């Protein structure tokens, strides 16, 4: 009797099965290579610009006119996700793209009833269909299954769910759960009611037939069906479902968010591929200032416009940016961002001219200047009101915005050096002729700047002379500080501007009553084309521009009357100041604080330059130098038997007599014949020594005083 060899048969069967498996795997790999996932077809996303707290400011459609925002599971209310999987795909977390149980169930129901009773599409298969839309045929269903397997092979469950949340249709040009939530509920989908979540689950199955803005009853019916099924599945309670069914469905789409449109547009253009841009804007403040601009522009002619910029001095965050009083107002050139427009600053640069003069000790706030018609070579400026005050202190000249004194100080400082100082902190002055050299008309607005430039400069005054770039995005780096003015010069300028009387005719309720220490300056360009006001305290800097975008003549409009009240109005809308902002800051160490009579002779009166820049004078044979102590040196100062410190010799060379020696900004000796003086320190540590001559020139040294053996 012949025995059957079952072992050989099983080996053949196993071999054939192995060959088949390898063949199928090779075929799958080949098909995967030939037909990769077309994820590039869904790369286009809408951009949404958010405020500092995550609220939407403005959104931008995709190139094909869709609202399609990137969404991830973490961006969505967990209740919505629970409802979605309970209603659409209960085994989403377990299957590999195709749910065999659902396929068998749907097939059996179809055979028994002779029609399709339920579908077997998983969320992964629906995502495949969204990525690669096809006609609803049996062949298309097989391709969807294959694509679903590909998706599960290459992507995580969260990634697949993120694609569905981004691409699911919601009617019209709305795609994705974020777009639907924003346009139907006016909020992000991270906090949804049960009724809202159920409606968002129901709509993608038949988005046009279930659109609540067109088919309210159908939308309500399908939402309630979702609520019934998810309650039965235990996602929510029966009571919660009944309560949610009482909630109304939205019957109209909400308008797209539209705050800070100019800034949002600029950020979008700078990074058009970004799906989310987190700005530093604070939306509530932005809305208040947009309303302020819209109300205030009504008092001006139909072609005038307003721009407002508010910066938090800490980190230079732009917290509000109003580019115009009305983006869609074509008569006022509303789409133009006037915070970025290059305009004449009028007198708005004068504080920095004086600041450089104070820093270089060519003048002092108490220095007397003669305000009278003056020729500076071929340049003969006039005061704005055509009046002249005679002898005035420079502090008063700045507060009154007199032109002759400002030009005189710029003549001493040097226009080229002044322009270079501003360029060093990122503010480039635009000259009328690109090939021209900076000249004295800079003092009166003969140059172009933007509102952002001016706010950058004034924010530096608020920060002790340190300049930083303005930041529009939360994740922008803070930048490297650059010195605009010394801390002493910035304090002197701020003290003057802080004592400037507030503008007349403030709008009702807009005079600050919270005790803020606001320093401000106005500017009016030639022909009244531009009215400026920039104010600051310890916490914020506010800039306002009023004018015609086309630069045409605007008779009678001045910064003090048109722009300054808006600065004070803006400050009244800011958060209440902290205790530090209510106190006048003390002078920094080394600041020369003196009355006019106490000033050294070289600073008592402004001495006009006699040809050549200050730098050229300083290079002459009579250059003033501090011979002792030398800059950077350490001086050991013994103590006397009574415990006091012994005297230190201060010695100068060159310069025009008399000489005045200052220690830490305070005069300690004036000598008419000798170029030296003795000084008895009252303590050890870092010390600044300065010598001034009768021509206003200065030389300084920073030294360290130490006790022997320390």
Q: Residues 324, 347, 401, 488: which is the catalytic one?
A: 347
> At a CB cut-off of 8 Å and minimum separation 6, what does 238 contact?
231
- Asked if residue 37 lies in contact with residue 154, where contact means CB atoms within 8 angstroms, the answer is yes
Give the whole-angstrom CA distance, residue 710 versus residue 699.
29
Helix (H, G, I), strand (E, B), or coil: what is residue 171?
coil
Angle value at C-alpha 37, between 35 and 41, nearest 5 degrees: 115
Active site residue 88: yes
Could you give the residue ranges of the DSSP H alpha helices within 155-215?
157-167, 177-185, 194-202
From the CB of residue 428, how many other CB atoms can be counted at a distance below 10 Å? 14
Three-point CA angle 306, 311, 317, nearest 5°? 130
Q: CA triplet 64, 67, 69: central angle to 5 degrees?
A: 115
Give the Cα-Cα-Cα angle 85, 90, 93 (nearest 5 degrees). 85
SS3 of residue 599 by DSSP: coil
Give catalytic status of residue 247 as yes or no: no
Among 88, 290, 359, 396, which one carries the catalytic annotation?
88
Helices (H) and strands (E) in the chain, counts: 22, 22
Backbone angles phi, psi at 504, to 5 degrees: -75, 165
Partners of 317 in the beta sheet? 312, 471
Q: Which residues contact 262 (CB under 8 A, 6 or more apart)?
A: 321, 323, 324, 327, 335, 337, 339, 340
Burial class (CB in 10 A: 0-12, 13-18, 19+), 32: middle
> Which of left, alpha, beta for 709 (phi over 0: left; psi -120 to 50: alpha)?
left
d(CA 298, CA 305): 9
Sheet holding 634-636, edge to edge: 634-636, 698-706, 685-692, 659-663, 666-671
> Catalytic positions, please?
88, 347
């Amino acid at each position: 009797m012949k025995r059957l060899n079952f072992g050989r048969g099983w080996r053949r069967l196993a071999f054939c099965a192995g060959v088949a498996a390898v063949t199928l795997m090779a075929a799958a790999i080949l098909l995967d290579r030939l037909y990769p996932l077309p994820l590039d077809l869904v790369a286009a996303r809408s951009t949404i610009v958010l405020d500092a707290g995550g609220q939407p400011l403005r959104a931008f459609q995709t190139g094909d006119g869709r609202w399609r925002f990137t969404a991830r599971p973490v961006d969505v209310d967990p209740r919505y996700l629970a409802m979605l999987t309970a209603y659409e795909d209960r085994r989403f977390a377990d299957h590999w793209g195709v749910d065999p149980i659902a396929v068998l169930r749907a097939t059996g129901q179809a055979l028994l009833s002779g029609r399709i009773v339920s579908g077997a599409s998983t969320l992964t298969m629906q995502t495949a269909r969204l990525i690669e839309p096809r006609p609803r045929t049996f062949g298309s269903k097989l391709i969807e299954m294959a694509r679903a397997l590909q998706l599960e092979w290459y992507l995580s469950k969260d990634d697949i769910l993120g694609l569905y949340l981004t691409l699911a249709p919601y009617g019209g040009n709305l795609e994705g759960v974020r777009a639907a939530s924003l346009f139907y509920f006016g909020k992000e989908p991270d906090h949804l009611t049960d009724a809202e979540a159920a409606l968002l689950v129901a709509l993608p199955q038949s988005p046009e037939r279930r659109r609540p803005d067109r088919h309210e009853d159908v939308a309500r019916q399908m939402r309630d069906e979702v609520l019934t099924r998810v309650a039965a599945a235990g996602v929510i309670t029966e009571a919660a479902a009944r309560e949610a069914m009482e909630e109304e469905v939205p019957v109209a789409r909400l308008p797209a968010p539209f705050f800070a449109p100019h800034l949002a547009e600029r950020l979008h253009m700078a990074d058009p591929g970004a799906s989310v841009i987190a700005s530093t804007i604070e939306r509530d403040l932005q809305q208040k200032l947009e309303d302020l601009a819209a109300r205030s522009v009504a008092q001006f002619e139909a072609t005038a416009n307003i721009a407002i910029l508010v910066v938090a001095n800490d980190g230079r965050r732009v917290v509000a940016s109003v580019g115009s009083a009305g983006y869609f107002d074509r008569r006022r050139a509303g789409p133009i961002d006037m915070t970025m427009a290059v305009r004449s600053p009028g007198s708005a640069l004068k504080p920095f001219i004086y600041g450089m003069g104070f820093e270089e000790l060519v003048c002092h706030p108490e220095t007397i200047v003669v305000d009278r018609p003056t020729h500076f070579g071929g340049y003969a400026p006039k005061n704005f009101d055509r009046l002249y005050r005679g002898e005035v202190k420079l502090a008063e000249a700045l507060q009154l915005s007199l032109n002759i004194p400002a030009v005189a100080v710029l003549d001493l400082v040097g226009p080229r050096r002044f322009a270079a100082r501003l360029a060093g902190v990122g503010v480039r002055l635009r000259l009328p002729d690109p090939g021209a050299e900076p000249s004295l008309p800079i003092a009166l607005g003969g140059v172009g700047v933007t509102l952002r430039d001016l706010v950058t400069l004034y924010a530096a005054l608020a920060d002790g002379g340190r300049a930083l770039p303005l930041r529009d995005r939360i994740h922008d780096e803070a930048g490297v500080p650059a010195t605009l003015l010394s801390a002493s010069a910035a304090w002197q300028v701020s003290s003057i501007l802080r004592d400037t009387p507030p503008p007349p005719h403030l709008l009702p309720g807009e005079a600050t009553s919270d005790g803020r220490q606001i320093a401000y300056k106005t500017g009016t360009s030639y022909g009244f084309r531009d009215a400026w006001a920039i104010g600051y305290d310890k916490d914020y800097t506010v800039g306002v521009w009023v004018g015609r975008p086309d630069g045409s003549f605007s008779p009678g409009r001045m910064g003090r009357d048109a722009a300054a009240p808006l600065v004070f109005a803006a400050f009244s809308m800011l958060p209440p100041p902290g205790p530090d902002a209510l106190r006048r800051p003390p002078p920094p160490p080394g600041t020369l604080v003196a009355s006019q009579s106490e000033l050294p002779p070289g600073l008592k009166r402004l001495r006009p330059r006699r040809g050549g820049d200050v730098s050229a004078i300083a290079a002459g044979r009579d250059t003033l130098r501090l011979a002792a102590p030398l800059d950077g040196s350490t001086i050991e100062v013994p103590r006397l038997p009574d415990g006091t410190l012994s005297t230190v010799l201060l010695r100068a060379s060159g310069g025009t007599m008399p000489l005045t020696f200052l220690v830490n900004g305070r005069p300690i000796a004036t000598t008419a014949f000798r170029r030296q003086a003795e000084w008895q320190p009252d303590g050890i540590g870092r010390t600044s020594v300065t010598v001034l001559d009768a021509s206003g020139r200065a030389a300084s040294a920073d030294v360290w005083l130490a006790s022997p053996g320390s």
